Amino acid sequence: MSRLCVVDDDQPMLSMLGRTLRDSGMDVDLADTGGQLLGLAKAHRYDLILLDLGLPDVDGLEILQALRAGDPDAQVIVVSARDDCANRVRCLDYGAADFVGKPFDLPELLARVRARLRGRGRPAAQGVLDVGAARLDFLHHTLHLPDRIAPLAPREFLLVRHLMSKAGEACTRDELMRAVWGYDFEADTNVVEVYVSRLRGKLPPALIETVRNVGYAFVAP
């Protein structure tokens, strides 16, 4: 059984989400402050956390950063009325797996929860991916090359993993947004370009090729 935690200071919303998720066969803990959530997260390993940003004690963005710092693999869906482009992009950059704006359609939220829980069932923290002379270590989030071993931040790892899994193929910006940031929305954001630039600062720049008018491709060394 999947274990979730929901944090929201709106008690009717919190109760409704808890009841709905339990009725869907999930084990759910509820919290109405950021401090309570952090205490629960230290005591339990959750498959998924639903996090509101407008908490009474600590801003939800700080909670998101703390959760991701404590567990880089933590899956967090932000559920917030602060549903503007800047907040969505900021949350995704800070490591949120998804963002759902309030008010939301409950069937859609449940579908997003189920999609994230299906992803947790995959063996993502084991094994390696070899492409040419490059080896991606899933356990340690490092990319091994003939001349270096490059440590990767969580989103950098996901971006490299997706590009390497389709080595030689052009991956579009929208595809990368869905695969790496887990969200599909139209926004004027250059987050993909920023992360590619960061990777090129760590890796031989030629490893990630810009495909004009399409996106990016991983070129085997």
Say whether the peptide bond before residue 146 is cis (omega within 30 degrees of 0). no
**Range(s) within the chain of domains with CATH label 3.40.50.2300:** 3-120
Q: What is the per-residue pLDDT for 189?
A: 73
Distance CA(12)–CA(83), nearest Å, equals 20
Helix (H, G, I), strand (E, B) or coil at 159: helix
Q: What is the per-residue pLDDT for 124?
A: 38
Q: What is the per-residue pLDDT for 86?
A: 84
Q: What is the per-residue pLDDT for 184?
A: 54
Q: What is the per-residue pLDDT for 208?
A: 94
Q: What is the per-residue pLDDT for 159?
A: 92
Tell me the average confidence (pLDDT) per consecutive run of 10 residues in the chain, 221 residues long. 90 93 89 92 88 92 88 87 86 89 91 80 57 86 90 90 88 84 63 92 92 91 80
Q: What is the per-residue pLDDT for 181?
A: 74
What number does CATH give the domain 3-120? 3.40.50.2300
Least Cα distance to 168 among 119, 109, 113, 216 occurs for: 216
Helix (H, G, I), strand (E, B) or coil at 209: strand
Assigned CATH class of 128-218: mainly alpha
Q: What is the per-residue pLDDT for 123?
A: 38
Least Cα distance to 138 among 116, 162, 118, 173 occurs for: 162
**Range(s) within the chain of domains with CATH label 1.10.10.10:** 128-218
Q: Is 75 exposed, middle or buried (0-12, 13-18, 19+ CB in 10 A)?
A: buried
Q: Are strands 171-172 and 208-211 parallel, antiparallel or unpaired?
A: unpaired
Distance CA(221)–CA(216), nearest Å, equals 15
